[in-house]
C-alpha cells in the first residue's frame, strides 16, 4: 500500500484544494492530510476563517482523504514521514524547492503538483469583500429626481 502525505490549512475549501487532494490520492492508495492547527496558522501568519475542527470535518467528507492528523509546527514533517510510513509527500507547486520539503528527499519521495490557477482562499475573501462593497453601494438610495 502506497502512503501519501500532504500538508495544508484547507480553509474555505475550494476546487484548488479538491484537485490537489484528488491528484495526491491518485499517486497512491492511502492519503494522510496533516491539517494546520489554528495555533500553527498563527505561526504561519495565516488567520483561517474556519477553526481546526470545522476544517477537519470538511476534509473528512472528501472521499480522497483517509486520515487527518494535526500539523502543529514546521519541524514535525520528518517524524510524520517515519511514523506514518509515508512513501510520498505531495504539495502544490507553490512549495516547489521549499527546504521544509526538500529536506525529506532522503527518506521519501517529494512530489509537487501544478497549483490550480484562478482560485485561492485569499482571492475568495477578497472577491467576497468587493462584492459586499458593491452591494452596499447598490443599497445607497438614489436621490429622488
Binding site for ligand C2G (CB under 6 A): 7-10, 16-17, 20, 36, 46, 71, 91-92, 94-95, 100, 115-116, 119-120
Dihedrals φ, ψ of 112, to 5°?
-110, 130
Residue 61 DSSP SS3: coil
CB 6 within 8 A of CB 31: yes
Given the residues 2, 44, 57, 126, the one annotated as active site: 44
Given the residues 2, 22, 25, 46, the one annotated as active site: 46
Residue 34 DSSP SS3: strand
Shorter beta-carbon distance to ligand C2G: residue 3 or 9: 9
Shorter beta-carbon distance to ligand C2G: residue 118 or 141: 118
The CB-of-38 to ligand C2G minimum distance in angstroms stands at 12
Q: Which grid coordinates are listed for 144?
A: 429622488
Shorter beta-carbon distance to ligand C2G: residue 3 or 80: 80
Select the residue whose beta carbon is closest to ligand C2G and give its number.
92
* Longest CA span, the chain: 74
Active-site residue 57, yes or no?
Answer: no
CB 44 within 8 A of CB 7: no
Active-site residue 126, yes or no?
Answer: no
Dihedrals φ, ψ of 62, to 5°?
-90, 125
The CB-of-51 to ligand C2G minimum distance in angstroms stands at 14
* Active-site residue set: 44, 46
Amino acid at each position: 500500500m502506497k502512503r501519501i502525505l500532504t500538508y495544508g490549512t484547507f480553509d474555505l475549501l475550494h476546487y484548488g484544494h479538491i484537485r490537489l487532494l484528488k491528484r495526491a490520492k491518485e499517486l497512491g492508495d492511502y492519503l494522510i492530510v496533516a491539517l494546520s492547527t489554528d495555533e500553527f496558522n498563527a505561526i504561519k501568519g495565516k488567520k483561517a476563517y474556519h477553526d481546526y475542527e470545522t476544517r477537519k470535518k470538511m476534509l473528512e467528507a472528501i472521499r480522497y482523504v483517509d486520515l487527518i492528523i494535526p500539523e502543529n509546527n514546521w519541524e514535525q514533517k520528518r517524524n510524520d514521514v517515519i511514523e506514518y510510513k509515508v512513501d510520498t509527500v505531495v504539495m502544490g507547486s507553490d512549495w516547489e524547492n521549499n527546504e521544509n520539503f526538500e529536506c525529506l528527499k532522503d527518506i521519501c519521495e517529494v512530489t509537487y503538483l501544478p497549483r490550480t490557477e484562478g482560485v485561492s482562499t485569499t482571492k475568495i475573501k477578497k472577491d467576497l469583500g468587493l462584492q459586499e462593497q458593491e452591494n452596499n453601494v447598490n443599497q445607497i438610495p438614489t436621490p429622488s429626481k
